[in-house]
């Protein structure tokens, strides 16, 4: 992983030996079997089942209290039409886009900045910093939201306490205007460290003689960072951006945990919260399934477009 | 390589997965009442969330070695119902017994989640309960879906020291309450007599119940939805007015902030229910001795009307294989004097059994030890509870409440409280219609 | 990039442009330490809060420590007969066993995808990769229905099995295998007549080891973080992992606020083992998401 200049050994070498069909096709598939079986059982089947559910709905007769008053019927695309026409769904999608516009640039920006600082020979306390900044990754979202929730609540927040001492007015971060930042902050807090490590890893893979030469030419650390380091870690940045986009569209745990603390988060604040509410609170898993499928397709399209835009740099190596 | 997205491959996976999914469409198990006739020892699982319910059940287990009940502690009523409904849809995974809040019973019945106990001898317990509680578990039909366990008649708790200092009396009417709220907030702008909680639909439902509302109704084979009735509007506009004026807080209850406010005297009153002392003891421990309990303020001076907030029953799920034994346990739990006493004193709930309650609840709860007539006040509150019918989509109405009233409370506009109510009404009605329920 | 390169990102550091590269930069270090403060703030809070008793929690200054940490731990340990420690043990089982098996499956699949050439390879990898895009929230409900068919809900299996497959892990394993295992070595083993599985276990696994540790940690955290799956699958709280258990306590804390201190102490205790695990394995933390691309 350290040699950048050396090209990766190509699997095509295996072709040199002519082998029979059995070992050429059956062996790899036999070895892939555990992965494929698990994938089919716990990902493909549930996904397909979701699709089946999304095409159904429940019909009730009369009061709906007798034993046979409830039946599952085929609904066609009705659930999809309802989902798309639901203003709550549209609002939640829009909200998530805004949320992503806050989270992704800030999170990746800080991650890149910290990674560069860690990599810089002029920084001190790097070992400690690396561990400390990475630490939040160990904290489950449910627990980190709980911790930040306590720090946000005006009556228990240390920030409000200090601000009151100094007689500075503080806005309520859980109020309707700022609540998105409050949620975004938790995501950034939890994600900066992980993305920093990803970028830092690819920075460490660069042989140092590449910038020794630049240093001799009188380039500053900042110039080295901009001209050499950042272009080299672009593929890593693309991948972290892609995974951040996916994670953003799936934001769920943070706002759900914060919701009981404030009037500003509705039960359909993000698309997945709406899915959860429809499936569990409203007991309508059929429309929840349709919304899930829409989210999954949306995620796929967006990731695909993103990779297209960045010229499939990250996946280009083996075709 | 790039992300392969080839139709053929997808179809292959789809076909494989389809065979897995095809044999998995969930079906609820048939209602075979009293199917099991086995006489050997049986194990029953019981989903409950009332504190210390396992200790109450231990009493049963000691005296009934043949029917062992295991309590699986649940987070709360909503979480337990969510899980039960999922298990019912999946066809397995449900417990034998379930602590079910009254407002969830129509939903559970409609999902085919509960066994009809009328053929198992549940009718013999009828005389132990008030007509209102009995109606909640039968839905006015000849079936019996659960046996009442506890009730939650609403009560008003207030800081008597603060009231005394300001020369206020316990509010007899809602007008008095509004005036007291204003006086208190004027005297100390950090203090509030209460908060309008958008997080507690059951609380608001109870308040409208007191005013004479019943959000659902059954007439013949049709449901009626009457959430935005005149009575509910009166309640919504009253609270909207107080919030708009700023004399009542607008943040939800049950947050760390609210707990802190009760403890340090920023919240000096709480519209709650008979189970309130347990909560106050936990979150406002250092104010013990400063509180008084009273019946709810009235809309008409001299009237005695009340609503319910909370309260639950014990039901047997459709998937139970031992309904007879389960029924035996339910009857014991909710009507046996020893059990009822344990419910009151160990699980800290207000038992629904009217006979046993008088003897089980003699001394005031510890937090109100200086108010010897606590349970007389509670009994008065309990007797005044007005009739109220819950519908099969309480969950939809409640989550609509959470969203609509959160917005209204945030905006601090009285008019928005009224539009929140009509948004609840239309969400609830259209959900019923969409599912095919016959709606009047 | 070329145009951006003319505008320095940190104006302050440019002033020291003549400085020798090895000289410590106070500014850069300061920014780094600011990041540290930000990341440690809630952690410090939970440490402080867990030293407080119930009444101090909401009444004393948030960052002022108290003396009740041991009382809180004792109380938490006594809560319903040591249930908390059972949750910790369950979490260790779910995340530990789950991540171990999952890493092995990922390693095998990644190795095959990187080192074998066979028809349909691209399709298999592409489909597996699409799994990355599907939120676990969406999967949890149908997974419940499917497991209910074979009566596995409310068991350890119901939480373990669905998390053994990790498309992300396979993706990473493929990258590691491609980078760390020279094809000649595999070829040599085959020429000597070693079986494919022997080659995998004896040669590939040791070579991929550092990467596999990352995948293990990665999946460990993913299982540890997955709240909804165990929440839906489990009815018996003796099977709960720590997150579901603590969240239940927190919900009950709404009516019994004394539980808040337990939740906070529990939160602190629950992240300690993970922090230790991270520190112990930190030199393996190299998440190379795009190693292949760098080489291309």
| The total number of structural domains that make up chain B | 2
CB–CB contacts below 8 A, A to B: 143
What is the per-residue pLDDT for B91? Answer: 85
What is the per-residue pLDDT for C290? Answer: 54
Q: How far apart are CA B425 and CA B225, in angstroms?
A: 7
What is the per-residue pLDDT for A21? Answer: 64
Q: How far apart are CA B10 and CA A315, in angstroms?
A: 20
- In this prediction, residue A319 has a pLDDT band, given cuts at 50, 70 and 90, of very low
Identify which has the larger pLDDT, A297 or B8: A297
Mean pLDDT computed over every residue of chain B:
87
Chain C: nearest CA to B202, how far in angstroms?
14
What is the per-residue pLDDT for B301? Answer: 93
Identify which has the larger pLDDT, A256 or B314: B314
Q: Are residues B186 and B295 in the same domain?
A: yes
Would you say residue B9 lies in a domain?
Answer: no
Chain B: nearest CA to C103, how far in angstroms?
22
Helix (H, G, I), strand (E, B) or coil at B151: strand
Q: Are residues B148 and B186 in the same domain?
A: no
Pairing outcome for strands B42-48 and B67-73: parallel
Would you say residue B220 lies in a domain?
Answer: yes
Q: Which of C265, C251, C41 is nearest to B255 (CA)?
A: C251
Torsion sign across C-alpha atoms A271, A275, A280, A284: positive
Q: Are residues B284 and B424 in the same domain?
A: yes
CB-based contact B75 C154, cutoff 8 Å: no
Question: Cβ of A163 under 8 Å from any chain C Cβ?
Answer: no
Q: Are residues B290 and B318 in the same domain?
A: no
Looking at residues B152-163, what average pLDDT do you find? 96
Residues 6+ apart with CB under 8 A from C81: none
Chain C: nearest CA to B375, how far in angstroms?
21
Neighboring chain A residues of C164 at a CB cutoff of 8 Å: 38, 42
Q: Are residues B143 and B76 in the same domain?
A: yes
Between A264-278, B152-166, C21-35, the lowest mean confidence (pLDDT) is in C21-35
Domain termination residue (choose one: B352, B374, B396): B374
Q: Is residue B230 pLDDT above 90, yes or no?
A: yes
Question: Cβ of C7 under 8 Å from any chain B Cβ?
Answer: no
Q: Are residues B167 and B136 in the same domain?
A: no
User: Count of CB atoms within 10 A of residue B35's CB?
Assistant: 13
What is the per-residue pLDDT for A22? Answer: 63
Residue C14, φ and ψ in degrees, nearest 5: -65, -25
Token pair for residue A44? 């493909």
Q: Name, of A114-123, B239-248, C278-287, the range with top average pLDDT.
A: B239-248
Residues 6+ apart with CB under 8 A from A124: C24, C29
Neighboring chain A residues of B410 at a CB cutoff of 8 Å: 175-176, 263-264
Element (H, E) at A73: strand A70-74
Q: Are residues B261 and B136 in the same domain?
A: no
Q: How far apart are CA B214 and CA B388, in angstroms?
A: 5
CB–CB contacts below 8 A, A to C: 341
Looking at residues B389-408, what average pLDDT do you find? 93
Q: In sequence order, what DSSP letters do the residues of C57-73 get, joined into one string? A: HTTS-TT---S-HHHHH
Question: Cβ of C146 under 8 Å from any chain A Cβ?
Answer: yes
CB-based contact C145 B90, cutoff 8 Å: yes
Q: Mind listing the pLDDT tens digit for each residue in A15-67?
A: 444 556 666 788 899 999 999 999 999 999 999 999 999 999 988 888 888 76
Q: Mind listing the pLDDT tens digit for each residue in A140-149?
A: 888 899 889 8
Q: Are residues B147 and B164 in the same domain?
A: no
What is the per-residue pLDDT for B269? Answer: 96
Neighboring chain A residues of C292 at a CB cutoff of 8 Å: 8, 314, 317-318
Looking at residues B14-40, what average pLDDT do you find? 42
Q: Which of A45, A144, A198 sits opposite C289 (nearest CB)?
A: A198
Q: Name, of B393-407, C211-225, C247-261, the range with top average pLDDT.
A: B393-407
Q: At what angle do helices A45-54 and A285-309 cross, to 10 degrees?
A: 120
Residue of B nearest to C231 (CA): B83
Q: Are A36 and C124 in contact (CB under 8 A)?
A: yes
Indicate which of B140, B251, B430 best probes the interface with A, i.e. most A CBs within 10 Å of its own CB.
B251
Q: Are B439 and B433 in contact (CB under 8 A)?
A: yes
Q: Are residues B327 and B296 in the same domain?
A: no
CB-based contact C135 A272, cutoff 8 Å: yes
Q: Is residue A318 pLDDT above 70, yes or no?
A: no
Question: Cβ of A226 under 8 Å from any chain B Cβ?
Answer: no
Would you say residue B381 lies in a domain?
Answer: no
Q: Are residues B163 and B298 in the same domain?
A: yes
Identify which has the larger pLDDT, A169 or B16: A169
Q: Mind listing the pLDDT tens digit for each residue in A172-225?
A: 888 888 999 999 999 999 999 989 988 988 888 778 787 788 888 888 888 888
Q: Mind listing the pLDDT tens digit for each residue in A236-287?
A: 888 889 889 888 888 888 998 888 888 889 989 999 999 988 888 888 889 9
What is the per-residue pLDDT for B318? Answer: 94
Q: Mind listing the pLDDT tens digit for each residue in A222-232?
A: 888 888 888 88
What is the per-residue pLDDT for C286? Answer: 64
Interface of B with A in 193-252 (CB under 8 A): 198-199, 218, 221-223, 250-252
Burial of A64 (0-12, 13-18, 19+ CB in 10 A): buried
Q: What is the ipTM of this complex?
A: 0.83
Q: Mind listing the pLDDT tens digit for each residue in C59-81?
A: 677 777 888 888 999 989 988 88
Q: How far apart are CA A226 and CA A236, in angstroms?
A: 15
Domain assignments of chain A as residue spans, ordered by start: 86-309
- In this prediction, residue C7 has a pLDDT band, given cuts at 50, 70 and 90, of very low
Q: Which chains touch A (3 or more CB pairs under 8 A)?
A: B, C
Q: Are residues B101 and B204 in the same domain?
A: no
Helix (H, G, I), strand (E, B) or coil at A210: helix
What is the per-residue pLDDT for C2? Answer: 29
Domains of chain C with CATH codes: 77-295 (1.10.3720.10)
Would you say residue B13 lies in a domain?
Answer: no
Q: Are residues B106 and B235 in the same domain?
A: no
Burial of A308 (0-12, 13-18, 19+ CB in 10 A): exposed
Domain with B291 in it = 153-308+387-435
What is the per-residue pLDDT for A77? Answer: 93
- In this prediction, residue C20 has a pLDDT band, given cuts at 50, 70 and 90, of very low
Q: Which chains touch C (3 or more CB pairs under 8 A)?
A: A, B
What is the per-residue pLDDT for C132? Answer: 78
What is the per-residue pLDDT for C256? Answer: 67
Identify which has the larger pLDDT, A67 or B84: B84
Mean pLDDT computed over every residue of chain A:
84
CB-based contact C40 A252, cutoff 8 Å: no
Token pair for residue A310? 């960045």
Mean pLDDT computed over every residue of chain C:
82
The number of C-alpha atoms within 13 Å of C96 and in the hemisphere containing its C-beta is 10
Does the domain at residues A86-309 carry the CATH identifier 1.20.120.140?
no
Chain C: nearest CA to A61, how far in angstroms?
25
What is the per-residue pLDDT for C261? Answer: 84
Token pair for residue C157? 């299996």
């Amino acid at each position: 992983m350290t040699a950048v200049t050396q090209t990766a050994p190509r699997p095509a070498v295996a072709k040199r030996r002519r082998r029979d069909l059995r070992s050429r096709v059956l062996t790899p598939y036999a070895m892939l079997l555990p992965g494929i079986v698990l994938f089919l059982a716990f990902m493909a089947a549930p996904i397909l089942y979701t699709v089946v559910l999304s095409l159904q709905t429940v019909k009730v007769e009369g009061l709906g209290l007798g034993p046979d008053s409830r039946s599952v019927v085929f609904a066609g695309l009705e659930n999809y039409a309802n989902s798309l026409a639901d203003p709550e769904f549209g609002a939640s999608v829009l909200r998530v886009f805004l949320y992503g516009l806050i989270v992704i640039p800030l999170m990746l920006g800080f991650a890149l900045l910290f990674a560069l600082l860690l990599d810089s020979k002029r920084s001190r306390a790097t070992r400690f910093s690396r561990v400390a900044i990475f630490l939040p990754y160990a904290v489950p979202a449910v627990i980190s939201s709980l911790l930040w929730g306590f720090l946000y609540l005006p009556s228990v927040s240390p920030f409000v306490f200090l601000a009151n001492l100094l007689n500075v007015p503080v806005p309520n971060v859980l109020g309707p205007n700022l609540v998105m930042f409050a949620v975004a902050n938790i995501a950034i807090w939890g994600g900066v460290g992980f993305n920093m490590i990803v970028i830092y890893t690819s920075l460490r893979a660069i042989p140092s003689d590449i910038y020794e030469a630049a240093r001799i030419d009188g380039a500053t650390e900042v110039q080295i960072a901009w001209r050499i380091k950042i272009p080299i870690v672009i593929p890593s940045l693309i991948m972290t951006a892609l995974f951040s986009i996916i994670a953003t569209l799936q934001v769920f745990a943070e706002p759900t945990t914060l919701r009981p603390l404030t009037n500003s988060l509705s039960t359909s604040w993000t698309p997945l919260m709406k899915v959860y509410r429809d499936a569990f609170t409203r007991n309508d898993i059929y429309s929840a399934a349709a919304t899930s499928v829409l989210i999954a397709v949306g995620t796929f399209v967006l990731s695909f477009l993103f990779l297209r835009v960045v010229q499939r740099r990250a996946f280009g190596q083996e075709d | 390589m790039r992300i392969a997205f080839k139709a053929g491959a997808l179809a292959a996976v789809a076909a494989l997965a389809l065979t897995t999914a095809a044999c998995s469409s969930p079906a609820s198990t048939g209602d075979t009442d009293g199917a099991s006739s086995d006489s050997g020892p049986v194990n029953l699982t019981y989903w409950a969330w009332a504190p210390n319910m396992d200790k109450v059940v231990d009493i049963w287990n000691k005296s009934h070695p043949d029917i062992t009940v295991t309590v699986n502690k649940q987070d709360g009523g909503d979480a337990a119902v969510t899980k039960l409904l999922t298990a019912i849809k999946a066809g397995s995974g449900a417990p034998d017994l379930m602590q079910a809040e009254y407002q969830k019973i129509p939903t559970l019945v409609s999902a085919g989640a509960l066994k009809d106990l009328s053929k198992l001898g549940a009718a013999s317990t009828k005389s132990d309960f008030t007509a209102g509680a009995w109606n909640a578990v039968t839905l006015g039909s000849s079936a019996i879906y659960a046996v009442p366990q506890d009730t939650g008649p609403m009560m008003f708790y207030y800081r008597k020291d603060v009231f005394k200092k300001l020369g206020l009396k316990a509010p007899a009417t809602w007008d008095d309450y509004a005036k007291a709220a204003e006086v208190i907030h004027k005297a100390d702008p950090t203090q509030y007599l209460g908060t309008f909680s958008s997080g507690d639909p059951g609380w608001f439902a109870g308040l409208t119940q007191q005013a004479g509302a019943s959000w659902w109704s059954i007439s013949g084979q049709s449901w009626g939805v009457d959430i935005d009735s005149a009575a509910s509007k009166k309640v919504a506009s009253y609270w909207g007015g107080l919030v708009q004026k700023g004399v009542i807080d607008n943040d939800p209850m049950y947050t760390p902030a609210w707990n802190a406010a009760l403890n340090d005297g920023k919240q000096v009153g709480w519209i709650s229910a008979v189970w309130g002392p347990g909560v106050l003891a936990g979150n406002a421990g250092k104010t013990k001795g400063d509180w008084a309990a009273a019946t709810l303020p009235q809309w008409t001076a001299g009237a005695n009307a009340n609503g319910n907030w909370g309260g639950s029953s014990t039901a047997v799920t459709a998937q139970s294989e031992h309904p007879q034994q389960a029924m035996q346990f339910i009857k014991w739990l909710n009507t046996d004097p020893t059990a009822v006493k344990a419910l009151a004193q160990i699980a800290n709930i207000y038992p629904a059994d009217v006979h046993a309650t008088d003897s089980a609840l003699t001394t005031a709860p510890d937090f109100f030890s200086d108010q010897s007539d606590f349970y007389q006040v509670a009994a008065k509150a309990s007797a005044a509870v007005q009739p109220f019918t819950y519908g099969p989509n309480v969950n939809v109405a409640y989550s609509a409440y959470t969203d609509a009233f959160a917005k209204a409370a945030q905006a601090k506009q009285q008019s928005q409280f009224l539009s929140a109510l009509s948004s609840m009404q239309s969400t609830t009605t259209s959900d019923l219609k969409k599912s095919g329920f016959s709606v009047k | 990039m070329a145009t951006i390169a003319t505008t320095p990102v940190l104006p302050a550091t440019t002033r020291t442009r003549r400085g020798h590269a090895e000289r410590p930069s106070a500014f850069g270090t300061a920014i780094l330490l600011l990041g540290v403060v930000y990341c440690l703030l809630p952690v410090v809070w939970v440490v402080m809060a867990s030293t407080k008793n119930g009444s101090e929690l909401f009444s004393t200054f948030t960052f002022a420590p108290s003396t009740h940490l041991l009382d809180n731990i004792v109380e938490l340990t006594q809560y319903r007969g040591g249930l908390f420690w059972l949750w910790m043990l369950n979490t260790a089982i779910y995340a530990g066993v789950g991540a171990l098996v999952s890493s092995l499956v990922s390693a095998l699949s990644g190795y095959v995808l990187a080192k074998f050439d066979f028809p349909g390879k691209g399709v298999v990898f592409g489909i597996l990769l699409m799994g990355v895009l599907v939120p676990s929230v969406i999967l949890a409900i149908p997974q419940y229905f499917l497991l209910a068919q074979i009566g596995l809900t409310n068991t350890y299996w119901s939480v373990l099995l669905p998390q053994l497959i990790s498309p992300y892990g396979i993706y990473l394993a493929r990258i590691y295998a491609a980078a760390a295992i020279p094809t000649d070595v595999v070829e040599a083993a085959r020429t000597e007549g070693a079986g494919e599985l022997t080659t995998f276990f004896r040669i590939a696994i040791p070579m991929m080891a550092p990467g596999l540790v990352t995948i293990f940690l990665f999946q460990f955290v993913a299982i540890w973080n997955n709240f909804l799956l165990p929440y839906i699958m489990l009815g018996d709280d003796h099977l709960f992992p720590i997150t579901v258990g603590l969240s239940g306590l927190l919900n009950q804390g709404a009516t019994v606020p004394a539980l808040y201190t337990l939740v906070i102490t529990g939160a602190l205790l629950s992240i300690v083992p993970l922090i230790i695990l991270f520190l112990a394995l930190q030199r393996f933390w190299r998440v190379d998401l795009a190693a292949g691309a760098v080489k291309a």
